[in-house]
Amino acid sequence: MDIATFVQIFESTLRLATPLLFACLAGLFSERAGIFDIGLEGKLLVAAFFSASIAFVTGSAWLGLAAGIGASVLFSLIHGVASITFRGNQLISGVAINFLAAGMTVVVAQSWFQQGGRTPPLVGDARFDRLSLPFAEALRDVPVIGQIYGQILNQHSILVYFGLLCVPLTWWVLYRTRFGLRLRAVGENPAAVDTAGVSVVRLRYAAIVIAGVLCGIGGAYLSTALAAGFVKDMSAGRGYIALAALIFAKWRPWHALGAVLLFGMLEAIANRWPNLDLGIVTLPNQFMTALPYILTVVILAGFVGKAIPPRAGGEPYVKER
pLDDT by residue for the chain (321 residues), tens digit each? Answer: 567 788 889 999 999 999 999 999 999 999 999 999 999 999 999 999 999 999 999 999 999 999 999 999 999 999 999 999 999 899 999 999 999 999 999 999 999 999 988 999 999 999 999 998 888 887 777 777 888 888 889 889 999 999 999 999 999 999 999 999 999 999 999 999 998 889 999 999 999 999 999 999 999 999 999 999 999 999 989 999 999 899 989 999 999 999 999 999 988 988 887 776 666 767 777 777 787 888 777 777 765 667 778 888 888 887 765
pLDDT of residue 295: 78
Please, which residues have CB within 8 angstroms of residue 13's CB and are 6 or more apart in sequence?
A: 261, 264, 265, 267, 268
φ, ψ at 227 (rounded to 5°):
-120, 180
pLDDT of residue 276: 66
pLDDT of residue 2: 66
Torsion angle, CA of 56/57/59/63, rounded to 10 degrees? Answer: -90
- What number does CATH give the domain 3-300? 1.10.3470
Burial class (CB in 10 A: 0-12, 13-18, 19+), 233: middle
| Helix and strand numbers, DSSP H then E, in the chain | 12, 4
Locate the domains of the chain by residue range: 3-300
pLDDT of residue 40: 96
Contact (CB, 8 A) for 126 and 64 = yes
What CA–CA distance (Å, rounded) separates 145 from 147? 5
Tell me which H or E stretch contains 256: helix 253-272
